[in-house]
Chain A
Amino acid sequence: MSPTDIPDQTQPVLRRLTRAAELRRMWPLYLIFTTFALAALLAPLAAPFDPMEQDLFARLKPPGTTLGGYIYWLGTDELGRDLLSRIIYGARVSMMVALLSVTVSMITGTAIGLAAGYFRGWVEVILMRLVDIILSIPAILLAIIAVAVLGPGLQNLVIVLGFTRWPRYARVAYGQTLGVANMPFVAASRFIGLASWRILVRHILPNIVAPLIVVATLEFGLMIIWEAGLSFLGLGVQPPTPSWGSILSTGRNYVASAWWISTLTGACLFLLVLSVNMIGDFLRDRFDPHSIKR
Chain B
Amino acid sequence: MSAPPAIEVTDLSLKIGGVDILSQVSFAVNPGQTLAIVGESGCGKSITALAVMGLLPEGAEITSGSIRLAGRDLVSLPEREMQTLRGNAVSMIFQEPMLALDPLMQVGDQIAEALTAHGKSSRQDATDEARRLLERVGISDAGKRLRQYPFELSGGMCQRIMIATALACRPSVLIADEPTTALDVTIQAQILRLIKELGEELQTAIVLITHDLGVVADTADQVAVMYAGSVVEQGNVHDIFAHPGHPYTQALLRSIPRLDGVPKAELAVIDGMVPDARHWPQGCRFHPRCDLAIARCTAERPALEPQEAPDHKVACWRAGEVPQ
Contacts and interface: CB of A to CB of B under 8 A. Distances in A.
Interface of A: 8-10, 183-185, 187-195, 198, 202-203, 206-207
Contact of A189 (B96, B99, B102): B102
B236 to A, nearest CB: 28
Contact of A191 (B92, B102, B113, B118): B92
Contacts of B96: 184
Contact of A190 (B55, B84, B151, B166): B55
Q: Using C-beta atoms within 8 Å of the partner chain, give the interface range for chain B.
A: 20 to 34
Interface string B51-62: 001010000000
A194 B117 contact: yes
A9 B103 CA distance: 9
Contacts of B88: 193
Contacts, number: 77
A231 B105 CA distance: 44
Contacts of B204: none
B100 A185 contact: yes
Interface of B: 53, 55, 83-88, 91-96, 99-105, 113-114, 117-118, 149-151, 162, 165-166, 168-169
What are the 10 A-B residue pairs with the smallest beta carbon separation, nearest first?
A193-B87, A192-B87, A193-B86, A191-B92, A184-B99, A192-B114, A188-B100, A184-B100, A206-B104, A10-B103
Contacts of B166: 191-192
Given A185-B100, A185-B101, A188-B100, 7 more contacts: A10-B149, A187-B94, A191-B92, A191-B166, A192-B86, A192-B114, A192-B117
B113 A202 contact: yes
A187 B87 CA distance: 12
Contact of B86 (A8, A191, A198): A191
B92 to A, nearest CB: 4
Nearest to B115: A192
A195 B117 contact: yes
Contacts of A203: 102, 105
A202 B106 CA distance: 12
Nearest to A198: B117
B104 A10 contact: yes
Nearest to B111: A192
B104 A193 contact: no
B87 to A, nearest CB: 3
Given A10-B103, A183-B99, A198-B117, A192 B149 contact: no
8 contacts: A10-B104, A185-B99, A188-B94, A189-B102, A192-B87, A194-B117, A206-B102, A206-B105
A188 B162 contact: yes
A202 B105 contact: yes
B57 to A, nearest CB: 11
Contacts of B162: 188
Given A188-B162, A191-B91, A193-B117, A207 B102 contact: yes
B94 A184 contact: yes
Contacts of B103: 9-10, 185, 207
Contact of A10 (B85, B92, B151, B169): B151
Contacts of B55: 187, 190-191
Contact of A185 (B53, B84, B102, B169): B102
Contacts of B99: 183-185
B81 to A, nearest CB: 11
Contacts of A188: 93-94, 100-101, 162, 165
Most buried by B among A10, A189, A207: A189
Contacts of B94: 184, 187-188
Given A185-B101, A207-B103, A193 B165 contact: no
A206 B151 CA distance: 16
Contacts of B101: 185, 188
A55 B313 CA distance: 102
A9 B104 CA distance: 9
Given A184-B94, A202-B105, A203-B105, A194 B113 contact: yes
A86 B85 CA distance: 63
Contact of A192 (B95, B104, B165): B165
Contacts of A193: 83-88, 114, 117-118
B146 to A, nearest CB: 17
A168 B162 CA distance: 36
Nearest to A186: B102
Contacts of A198: 113, 117
A189 B117 CA distance: 10
Contacts of B113: 189, 192, 194, 198, 202
